[in-house]
Structure 1
Amino acid sequence: MPLRPPFLSRPSAIIVPLLVVLPLLIAFYSLTLGQDGNWDLRNYHWYNAYAFLTGRELVLDVAPAQVATYYNPTLDLPIYWLAQVLPARGVSFVLSFVQGLNLVPLTGLGWVLLAGLNPRSRALAAVALALACFLGGGQMGLLGTTFYDNVISLFVLGSAWLVVARAGDVWDGPGRRAFPVVFVAGLMVGGAVGLKQPTLPYAIGLCFAFLAVAGGFWRRMFLAFFFGIGVIAGMALFSGHWMWHLWSTYQNPLFPYFNDVFRSPWGVPEPYRDDKFLPHGVWNNLVFPYSWVTDPRKVGEILFTDLRVPVMYVVLLATPLLLAAGRLMGRRPAAGVPVRPALYVIVAGALTYLAWLKLFSIYRYLIPLEMLAPLVMVAAIGLWPLPARARGALVLALLVLVSVTARPGTWARMPFADRFVEVNVPALPDPDNTIVIQTGYAPTSFLAYGFPPQVPFLRVHSYFIHPDHGDILLNRRMRQRIDAHDGDFFWLVAHWEVWTADHILPAYGLVADMGDCRLVTSNLDEPMMLCRLRRSSAPQPEPAPEAVP
């Protein structure tokens, strides 16, 4: 009778415990970083969930979170709900643990791509490779934060894992087995796009990669088609309700984006696209990964270092040349390399990068690809016409390089408070008959959470709305409510934006009483000013043009 293999020789006995323990360790580590207080959390992540659950949007408030007021709030709801029942550390722990679960699909992808190793070595190498993927400078900077780029990555990486894990069915099996698999994979990515629209490059990359992998013309087309149908279904599932709300309320299902196309009367006919990070010119596009290595502010707001995508970029450029040279020399890919899964990962990574480059060029949106980049390197180098030892040594050297050079960025962090969001508001003399006016660019919408729930917030000026925009319906709605109100007005503003008292408030017939100001404090930001407003008896002047800070 053959002896049973030792317990630790079973891959599951190695992988499963590690994938339970490692996310827990990551969650504990995140508590040493402090509490998240990033700009987006203060501007819209917290407010949007609060407004959605209390039905404030447009009924009470008008654009308090600037453009982001109109983002799909679904992704923000879990943290908001958690924060109602858990202390701040508990919320951060759970969020970081979920982010740590990216190790699961990363390990799964590594397991497929390392098929040439024996089971025990394959299990250990897959987990080690997953860690090399996970510990990137961009991803670790987002640990415990509410940007969610490393949460929607679970959908993206899970989709890629499903495709390559079922490679036999996808590329060789009958359609009744292949097409449901790719539909579900598309559904996962579509869900990510529905929750956060900047995930779109991954849907493009993972879908069109099918057109470049083995199979007849119609096989490739049908795989891409069913994946695409899954993407559309996923988007409808997670954002259909919100797109319908925006269409029925603002006549633009993506409001305010692409308003130059939809022409909603609620905003100006502009695309509202953030294109300030896009490179211009052929040369700048070609060397872009190395531009942000020398100056990270070309792709975001903070300093960080990570070479995963730049190294992947070189590997991708070298791969077709080396494969072509190998064919000329009559060499085939090494035995044990899963060619179709490898090609799928390679092409999906390349297409995703190109789509991201043309659409956004904001590094945070590249976090799932940062995690995928070492896997792309392993897949590509595994196909190179080199001896096995040379390929293994090269992969190891590159993984060590990108790991030891990574330096996470730092978003706004602060000491943990008792609750995830704490706001202290001075007593209002008549909260049932009070309107709060916001101006400036500071992220102050989260402070609405601390005010009496019946108090409306009107943001008459921001990077989204300006009195100079004329009679758009958002401006008209606010002007009508201000003109009709006969109670108290208060002005919520950052101290560095009090210049708006002279340049914005007069457009609505309001004057700030700078002698009657108090402070609104919170655990996420410095104190904000809450000043009484009075009506002006003078004619309303035209607002002066402002300098963008």
Structure 2
Amino acid sequence: MDRLVGAAPSAPGTVGIIASWRVFAYLSSTLAAVAWTLYAGKDLNWDSLNYHLYAGFSALNDRFSTDYFAASLQGYLNPYAHAPFYLMVQAQWPSWAIGTAFACFHALNLWLCYELALTLIPGPARTKTQCTALLGMALAALNPVFLQELGSSFNDISTSVLVVGGWVALAKGLHRPSWQRWALGGLLLGAAAALKLSNAIFCLASAPMLLFLTSGAERLRYAGVLCVAGCLGFFGASGPWAYRLWQEFGNPYFPMLNEYFKSPHLTSAPFKHLRFVPESVVDAFLRPFQMAWPIADVHTEPRAPDIRYATLMLLIPAWLFLNRFRVSPAGAPQIPDTAASFRVLPAVVLSVCIAWILWLWTSGNSRYFLPMSCIAGVLIAVLLVNVLRGPRAMAYAIAGLLGMQALNAYMSPSRWTPAPWDDQWFDLQIPERFQTAPYLYLSVSSPSLSFLLPYLAPGSGLINISGTHILDPDGANGTKVRELMARNRGRVRMIAEVHLVTRDGAPAPAITDYDHRLQKFGLRVDPADCAYFRVIGDFYSVVVGSSESSPHPPPAKSTGDTYAFTCGLHPLPTVDRVASHEAQEHADVVFNRIEDSCPDFFSPRRPVTERKNMGWRRIYVNTDTQLWTYNDLVLALRYPIDSQPVYLGKMHDWGQKTQSIDCPKRRAPFSERASFSEKTPQPLRRAANVTPE
């Protein structure tokens, strides 16, 4: 059996040597992960404020009867992976302790990379084998995307542990075929897909490993084990939440897959974020090399240059060629050490290539490729050993790779939104009024501020009516919102974040703009009943408080301070509702015609139209695009492609008939001729200072 799996029989002392190397690998990777986390600081990124804490809160507290789209669309994704974050915050752990706990768990990715490397390298536990495994760990860790998430509340890196663990189990199942290993791999991969649906592609990509088993009977038997275990893992980790979503929306995977389940609470158009998806085969082929450039928004939002994928793209063909034609010094063809070694490495390489293709097709966002990015580091180390035989060439290659990746990590931001470690993750001081009296808050900003809910009075609720996803005042959305407002009559308030400050340091909320967003539900702000939640340093530290007798807060400590602003609400006069409805109908005609001119670009089609500032807007989440109006002008803005709004014509002209526009590629500027120029109307220049959310 030892000969079959490519492992040398254990010699005296070998077990102790292996254990010593393993302890060193595990301990050093964990200490390095903790040290990096403490150095990088706390990450108060947009996602953590919008839904990370709320997701954990909702996993342990049924929020379906009190909230509605509280954290926008993300609030209904499987929340169980965020439950540990909520529990640590609720227990008032120091922020550094929470980060350390995350770092220790995330370090399991590196432990598993070490085990995978040993599985891919046949033969005895020699020093060279162990050093190759350690190199694989180092290359897995020196990934800017991995380092940016290490010790943070992102669940990409947390669920990656399950994916990498599943692949290690399957790789070991090729070495020593047993139903237990294939069952473990299926359970882990199924659970990973349940906790984060983007991990489903790694389940599909692992299936070709079955082809490398030695007989048809084995393939059939272990395929059944893998499928059954995968289903058990998936439904075990998603079943309770999926059942509640089915009860509430008629879609167990809401908001995903609604094109099939067609819940009335959301559009039936498919959601597919296209920002990082290649537009052509050539673009896909060049992606590994594009990822090496130190610029943002190539394969993930922050700057994260990475040469490992280009290296792997060059190593795989070289390995295939040399494995086929390399000869020994005597001129005889080189024979693989064992049948097992011939099976496992090609199986993992093929599966990673399939995962790469599926990833580019579905998202192209490197945050959703973290498991394979870890495995890619292992493959580079193992393939280098197979391709480069000379010690000098090997030393140069290793030094160059490690040096370049260390430089890439240095050039990348350590955190999305870095913050210093302090006593608590969210340092809140909430007045007794908000701790004892429950309110229904209508959030009209992005992020939704759902992270405040666990600190408010029991029974408080939140509806994010305007943010990345705008709720329709009609249909199922309107019915649910009005039902919750009726249940909380006299206790309904709006809440929004405020970035602007006046010269004396006080926040300058645009109450008129809030009225515009609330009017679709027949409400307006009561300026006599307002309070401020001061957020120091862009959510670095949150102090909730205001004078009970005055809405004016203490002066801001810096111009970077952010505030949450909450006010009571009054019914909107009927005459204002009628005028607003007529104006919206005109904007709908214009927006619909623009959508029809570029049907593949503006998606999903026919989103809700919302009043914004001095005009109207629509948000197209698939392409990060907004259409909006400013007086009689029609503007488009795509984040992050367009640095300023693009002029598409006048509302009057579009209202008469469809105008001619050039439909752009998703990753190219909208139109050079449509950008700001001397011929651009003067009011449009002023619109450049009005940036949509």
Tell whether the structures are fold-level matches, with TM greater than 0.5: yes
CA distance in 2, matches of 1:390, 1:429: 68
Contact 2:434/2:456 (CA < 8 Å) preserved in 1? no
Contact 1:343/1:379 (CA < 8 Å) preserved in 2? no
Q: Which of 155, 167, 170 is 1:148 aligned to?
A: 155
Q: Which moved more, 1:310-319 or 1:455-464?
A: 310-319
SS at match of 2:617: coil
CA distance in 2, matches of 1:28, 1:217: 48
Counterpart residue type for residue 160 of structure 1: W
SS at match of 1:354: helix
Q: Which of 521, 525, 533 is 2:569 aligned to?
A: 533
SS at match of 1:436: strand
Contact 1:309/1:369 (CA < 8 Å) preserved in 2? no
Which residues of 2 match residues 153-302 of structure 1 at below 5 A? 153-170=160-177, 178-211=178-211, 213=212, 215-294=214-293, 295-302=295-302
Contact 2:55/2:79 (CA < 8 Å) preserved in 1? yes
SS at match of 2:297: helix
SS at match of 2:408: coil
Could you give the per-residue CA deviations for residues 342-396 of structure 1, whole angstroms, max 9, x where no partner exists?
A: 1122112111111111111111011111111122224445555x75658845863
Q: Which of 453, 459, 465 is 1:454 aligned to?
A: 459
CA distance in 2, matches of 1:350, 1:433: 52
Counterpart residue type for residue 446 of structure 1: F
Contact 1:88/1:417 (CA < 8 Å) preserved in 2? yes
Could you give the per-residue CA deviations for residues 102-141 of structure 1, whole angstroms, max 9, x where no partner exists?
A: 2211111122233346534433442343122222211111
Q: Which of 537, 546, 549 is 2:617 aligned to?
A: 546
1:74 is matched with 80
1:175 is matched with none
RMSD, matched Cα: 3.0
Matched, 1:442 2:422: no
Which residues of 2 match residues 465-544 of structure 1 at below 5 A? 465-467=470-472, 470-471=474-475, 473-483=476-486, 485-495=488-498, 498=510, 500-514=513-527, 516-522=529-535, 524=539, 526-539=562-575, 540=577, 541-542=580-581, 543-544=610-611
SS at match of 1:490: strand
CA distance in 2, matches of 1:534, 1:281: 52
Counterpart residue type for residue 312 of structure 2: M
CA distance in 2, matches of 1:104, 1:433: 46
Contact 2:172/2:181 (CA < 8 Å) preserved in 1? no
Matched, 1:19 2:26: yes
Matched, 1:377 2:408: no
TM (norm. structure 1) is 0.88
The 1:389/1:163 distance shift into structure 2, 3 A limit, reads farther
Could you give the per-residue CA deviations for residues 145-177 of structure 1, whole angstroms, max 9, x where no partner exists?
A: 11122222221222222233343332xxxxxxx
CA distance in 2, matches of 1:338, 1:309: 23
Contact 1:9/1:119 (CA < 8 Å) preserved in 2? no
Matched, 1:422 2:427: yes
CA distance in 2, matches of 1:153, 1:271: 25
Counterpart residue type for residue 114 of structure 1: I
Q: CA deviation at 1:505?
A: 0.6
SS at match of 1:293: coil
Counterpart residue type for residue 463 of structure 1: T
Contact 2:336/2:342 (CA < 8 Å) preserved in 1? no
Q: Which of 397, 402, 405 is 1:403 aligned to?
A: 405
Contact 1:26/1:97 (CA < 8 Å) preserved in 2? yes
CA distance in 2, matches of 1:430, 1:16: 48
CA distance in 1, matches of 2:565, 2:216: 64
CA distance in 2, matches of 1:354, 1:325: 28
Q: CA deviation at 1:522?
A: 4.8
Q: Unaligned 5+ residue runs, structure 2? A: 1-10, 500-508, 541-561, 582-609, 619-625, 627-691
Counterpart residue type for residue 84 of structure 1: Q
The 1:333/1:163 distance shift into structure 2, 3 A limit, reads farther
Contact 2:191/2:230 (CA < 8 Å) preserved in 1? yes
Q: Which moved more, 1:450-459 or 1:525-534?
A: 525-534
SS at match of 1:546: strand
1:60 is matched with 66
Q: Unaligned 5+ residue runs, structure 1? A: 171-177
Could you give the per-residue CA deviations for residues 467-494 of structure 1, whole angstroms, max 9, x where no partner exists?
A: 36x31x2331102333565314321112
The 1:389/1:31 distance shift into structure 2, 3 A limit, reads closer
SS at match of 2:291: helix
Q: Which moved more, 1:436-445 or 1:40-49?
A: 436-445
The 1:105/1:266 distance shift into structure 2, 3 A limit, reads same
Q: CA deviation at 1:431?
A: 5.8
1:174 is matched with none
Counterpart residue type for residue 535 of structure 1: P
CA distance in 2, matches of 1:529, 1:95: 32
Could you give the per-residue CA deviations for residues 41-97 of structure 1, whole angstroms, max 9, x where no partner exists?
A: 11111012212323222x111111000110111111112212233221111111111
Matched, 1:412 2:448: no
CA distance in 2, matches of 1:495, 1:46: 21
SS at match of 1:102: helix
CA distance in 2, matches of 1:388, 1:136: 27
2:359 is matched with 356
CA distance in 2, matches of 1:30, 1:387: 37
SS at match of 2:442: strand
Contact 2:250/2:263 (CA < 8 Å) preserved in 1? yes
The 1:490/1:79 distance shift into structure 2, 3 A limit, reads same
2:600 is matched with none
Contact 2:440/2:493 (CA < 8 Å) preserved in 1? yes
The 1:260/1:330 distance shift into structure 2, 3 A limit, reads farther
CA distance in 2, matches of 1:396, 1:334: 24
Counterpart residue type for residue 230 of structure 2: V
The 1:353/1:67 distance shift into structure 2, 3 A limit, reads same
1:43 is matched with 50
Could you give the per-residue CA deviations for residues 220-245 of structure 1, whole angstroms, max 9, x where no partner exists?
A: 34434432332222111111221122
The 1:538/1:431 distance shift into structure 2, 3 A limit, reads farther
Contact 1:258/1:270 (CA < 8 Å) preserved in 2? no
CA distance in 1, matches of 2:457, 2:200: 38
Tell me which structure has the larger Cα radius of gyration. Answer: 2
The 1:184/1:70 distance shift into structure 2, 3 A limit, reads same
Contact 2:140/2:374 (CA < 8 Å) preserved in 1? yes
The 1:432/1:402 distance shift into structure 2, 3 A limit, reads same
The 1:18/1:277 distance shift into structure 2, 3 A limit, reads closer
The 1:73/1:485 distance shift into structure 2, 3 A limit, reads closer
TM (norm. structure 2) is 0.71
How many residues align? The count is 533
CA distance in 1, matches of 2:449, 2:574: 29
Once superposed, which parts of structure 1, at least 4 consecutive aligned residues long, lie more than 6 Å away?
A: 4-9
Counterpart residue type for residue 43 of structure 2: D
CA distance in 2, matches of 1:98, 1:45: 17
Report which structure shows greater RCO (CA 8 Å, sep ≥6): 1
CA distance in 2, matches of 1:402, 1:159: 30
The 1:62/1:484 distance shift into structure 2, 3 A limit, reads same
The 1:330/1:223 distance shift into structure 2, 3 A limit, reads farther
Counterpart residue type for residue 192 of structure 2: A
CA distance in 1, matches of 2:88, 2:35: 17
CA distance in 2, matches of 1:22, 1:393: 22
Which is richer in helix?
Answer: 1
Q: CA deviation at 1:7?
A: 9.9
Percent pairwise identity: 20
